[in-house]
């Protein structure tokens, strides 16, 4: 949370700036009452009018008045997009297990806010704009409560589940459409180049990503999270077990037993090991050694600080870098 002193300084600074601005307006109005000269009006027009508040309709149909230049944005679990657009949030998402470590080059020192955005916590940050992702984040009366604190824009499930759509929509909300399009174009070029390198270096080889947490395994969906990067963006063939579990699974990551993993036909196994630092006992089981990728020395392990558990332009670009460096060896 923000320190009390820091909030006081921020509030005092904002109050002082507003007072000076109002005083300047008052001085201008107090003058003869005559209109500005045509020359001054022309000069003002050429410089462009100050940015104005904009009204946009969010994913749930709310008409939201977006501040002209929001300075204290809370966008829990959407920080990847803000960072990609050169924006620092007032507070960053956190859960009991930690924060988004892969973004800390930019977000280091930014205070944390609980992932479920308790009202009291949100109020303490004094935000001037809230951006939320899924419909569930504002279920019940949550939206009305948030909207009393600050303008609240909900992306909605359809957009929140597709990082490309989310990036462009957040770019629109922040009046950074061109920047968002450039980020997307740069990523598409990066993915296209990487796909060509993969096809040249290891044609036909498949990959799967699994997550080890609390001695249990989960496998990524073939169309969500890092699965979308592997199979859609980079063109890796989808192993049969990934197809089967994805067909009935409902999440980004779905449970898979060690016995099922033993039959996985992936040439490369990407392991996100949240148990790293513990004994990771399940990876010492004899059956683990029978897995094709394990036997062939093609296990690529990352800890929970990597971007593999996340989704967004920065996370996806970092995954591509990992694949090129560790699998393609380029």
- Structural domain contains residue 260: yes
d(CA 270, CA 284): 17
- Structural domain contains residue 180: no
pTM (two decimals): 0.83
- 161 shares its domain with 271: no
- 129: Cβ–Cβ under 8 A, 6 or more apart, which residues? 66, 67, 70, 72, 73, 74, 150, 151, 153, 173
- 317 shares its domain with 239: yes
| Six token digits for residue 270 | 């990407």
Question: Total structural domains in the chain?
Answer: 3
- Structural domain contains residue 184: no
- 45 shares its domain with 65: no
- 108 shares its domain with 151: yes
pLDDT in tens, 115-142: 999 999 999 999 999 999 999 999 999 9
- 277 shares its domain with 321: yes
- Structural domain contains residue 270: yes
Domain that holds residue 295: 200-327
Q: Is the pLDDT of residue 3 over 50?
A: no
pLDDT in tens, 280-302: 889 999 999 999 999 999 999 99
Domain with residue 160: its CATH number is: 3.40.50.1980
Query: Which pLDDT band, with edges at 50, 70 and 90, does 50 fall under?
Result: low
Pairing between β-strand 207-213 and β-strand 216-220 as defined by DSSP bridges: antiparallel
Q: Identify the weakest region by mean pLDDT among 140-144, 238-242, 247-251, 298-302.
A: 247-251
> Is the C-alpha dihedral spanning 209, 212, 103, 328 positive or negative?
negative
Give which of 255, 235, 237, 234 is closest to 246, Cα–Cα.
255
Last residue of a domain, one of 142, 175, 208: 175
- 315 shares its domain with 211: yes
Q: Is the pLDDT of residue 33 over 90?
A: no
- 218 shares its domain with 283: yes
Residue recorded with tokens 């949100």: 122
């Amino acid at each position: 949370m923000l320190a009390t002193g820091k909030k006081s300084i921020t509030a005092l600074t904002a109050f002082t700036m507003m007072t000076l601005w109002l005083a300047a307006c008052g001085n201008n109005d107090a003058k003869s009452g005559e209109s500005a000269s045509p020359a001054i009006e022309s000069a003002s027009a050429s410089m462009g009018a100050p940015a104005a508040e904009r009204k946009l309709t969010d994913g749930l149909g709310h008409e939201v008045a977006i501040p002209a230049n929001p300075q204290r944005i809370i966008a829990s679990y959407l920080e990847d997009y803000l960072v990609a657009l050169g924006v620092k949030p007032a507070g960053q998402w956190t859960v009991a297990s930690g924060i988004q470590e892969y973004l800390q080059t930019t977000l280091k020192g930014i205070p944390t806010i609980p992932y479920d955005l308790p009202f009291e916590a949100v109020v303490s940050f004094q935000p001037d704009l809230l951006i939320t992702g899924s419909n569930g984040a504002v279920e019940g009366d949550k939206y009305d409560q948030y909207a009393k604190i600050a303008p609240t824009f909900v992306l909605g499930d359809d957009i929140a589940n597709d990082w490309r759509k989310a990036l462009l929509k957040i770019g629109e909300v922040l009046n950074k459409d061109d920047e968002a399009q450039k980020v997307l174009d740069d990523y598409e070029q990066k993915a296209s180049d990487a796909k060509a390198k993969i096809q040249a270096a290891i044609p036909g080889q498949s990959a799967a990503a699994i997550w080890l947490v609390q001695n249990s395994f989960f496998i990524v969906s073939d169309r969500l999270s890092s699965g979308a990067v592997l199979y859609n963006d980079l063109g890796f063939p989808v192993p049969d077990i990934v197809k089967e579990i994805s067909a009935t699974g409902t999440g980004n990551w779905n449970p898979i037993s060690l016995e099922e993993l033993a039959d996985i036909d992936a040439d490369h196994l990407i392991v996100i090991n949240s148990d790293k630092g513990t004994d990771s006992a399940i990876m010492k089981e004899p059956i683990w050694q029978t897995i094709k990728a394990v036997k062939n020395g093609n296990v690529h392990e990352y800890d929970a600080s990597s971007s593999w558990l996340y989704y967004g332009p920065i996370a996806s670009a970092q995954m591509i870098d990992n694949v090129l460096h560790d699998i393609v060896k380029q």
